[in-house]
């Protein structure tokens, strides 16, 4: 199993590290445009192999796509991250050009690969990769909902004063501060609706804190976060590599599902060896349907900028 990660920055390196620590891939290639940067990150990570007990071979290359040839899975994290006060949508000018050229270069060397898009604005970058590569829709996956759901569970655990392993919840919709939809109605603590344990006001606060989860960290760190994004990507990669049939909300190209067409947006999917094995259509309330529609309208506005 060969995995390429383009962009050896904060998220790309974190993603490579988690993939290696989980020890399911034979090879991870890190590629960056900055001379020597990916080589340095790869060497540093390889020097953790004996300490962390993994056999995955990590190599780094400067913009040499021949070294990525025949990758089973390719991850795109290249592009600028947001700074405090910025929205993800403001990154489109620079990141669209990067994602378009990177996705085409990757496919030229790995025509059978499954592509995971992380660069922001992620839903629009996934849509762009879909259009630029012409890959079938089950082989292009945008990562956002897996991270947003992890942040939702973190906030639920905090509000419940419960271990996060007790908590389940999912975030669908666009990967933006206003577009994401934490499904509070379906969130549970060991199968019991979380509304049993907290007031509707507290649950609303959890929802709002989840939606600005990325912005909160960007303000604290001065740049966007990397541990949870890297872990979320590695989870998607593992689900595909190990044919886990695991369910994650991911940004995928819709053709009629949820009443939408010609858009990539976050919905629950089953991930396995073919990439997206199935899109899961859950019954939404009228209010959730309205939220989903508004979220899609916002994603389309950003898509129009392409």
Told to check if 180 binds ligand NAD by CB under 6 A, we report no
Told to check if 34 binds ligand NAD by CB under 6 A, we report yes
Binding mask 218-257 for ligand NAD (x = CB under 6 A): -----xx-x--x----------------------------
Told to check if 6 binds ligand NAD by CB under 6 A, we report yes
Among 56, 77, 113, 295, binds ligand NAD (CB under 6 A): 77
3-state secondary structure string, 200-246? HHHHHHHHHHHHCHHHHHHHHHCCCCCHHHHHHHHHHHHHHHCCCCE
**Cα–Cα dist 167/194, whole Å:** 9
Q: In the beta sheet, which residues pair with residue 261? A: 255
Could you tell me the end-to-end alpha-carbon distance of the chain, in angstroms, rounded to an integer? Answer: 34
Backbone angles phi, psi at 222, to 5 degrees: 85, -10
CA atoms within 13 A on the CB side of 303: 20
Q: Which stretch binds ligand NAD (CB under 6 A): 5-13, 16-24, 161-169, 298-306?
A: 5-13
Told to check if 118 binds ligand NAD by CB under 6 A, we report yes
Q: In the beta sheet, which residues pair with residue 250? A: 267
Told to check if 25 binds ligand NAD by CB under 6 A, we report no
Among 42, 73, 122, 180, binds ligand NAD (CB under 6 A): 122
SS3 176: coil
Instruction: Respond yes or no: is residue 138 known to be catalytic.
Output: no
Closer Cβ to ligand NAD, 8 or 296, answer by number: 8
Told to check if 9 binds ligand NAD by CB under 6 A, we report yes
* Residue written as token pair 């991911």: 250
Which residues would be at the binding site for ligand NAD (CB under 6 A)? 6-12, 31-34, 37, 77-82, 91, 95, 98, 102, 118-120, 122, 143-144, 147, 175, 223-224, 226, 229
């Amino acid at each position: 199993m060969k995995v390429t990660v383009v962009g050896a920055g904060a998220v790309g390196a974190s993603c490579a590290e988690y993939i290696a620590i989980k020890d399911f891939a034979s090879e991870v290639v890190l590629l960056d445009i900055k001379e020597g940067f990916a080589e340095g990150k790869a060497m540093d990570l390889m020097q953790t192999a004996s300490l962390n007990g993994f056999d995955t071979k990590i190599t780094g290359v400067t913009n040499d796509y021949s070294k990525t040839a025949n990758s089973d899975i390719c991850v795109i994290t290249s592009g600028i991250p947001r700074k405090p006060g910025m929205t993800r949508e403001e990154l489109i000018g620079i990141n669209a050009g990067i994602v378009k050229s990177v996705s085409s270069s990757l496919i030229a060397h790995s025509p059978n690969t499954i592509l995971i898009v992380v660069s922001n604005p992620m839903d629009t970058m996934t849509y762009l990769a879909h259009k630029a590569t012409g890959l079938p829709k089950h082989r292009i996956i945008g990562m956002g909902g897996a991270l947003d759901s992890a942040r939702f569970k973190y906030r639920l655990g905090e509000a419940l004063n419960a271990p996060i392993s007790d908590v389940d919840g999912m975030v669908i919709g666009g990967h933006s501060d206003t577009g994401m939809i934490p499904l509070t109605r379906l969130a549970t603590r060991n199968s019991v609706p979380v509304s049993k344990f907290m007031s509707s006001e507290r649950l609303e606060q959890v929802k709002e804190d989840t939606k600005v989860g990325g912005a909160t960290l960007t303000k604290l760190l001065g740049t966007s976060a990397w541990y949870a994004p890297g872990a979320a990507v590695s989870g998607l990669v593992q689900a595909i590599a190990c044919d886990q049939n695991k369910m994650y909300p991911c940004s995928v190209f819709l053709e009629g599902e949820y009443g939408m067409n010609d858009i990539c947006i976050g919905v629950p999917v089953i991930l396995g060896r073919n990439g997206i094995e199935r899109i899961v259509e859950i019954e939404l309330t009228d209010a959730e349907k309205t939220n989903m529609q508004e979220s899609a309208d916002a994603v389309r506005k950003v898509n129009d900028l392409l």
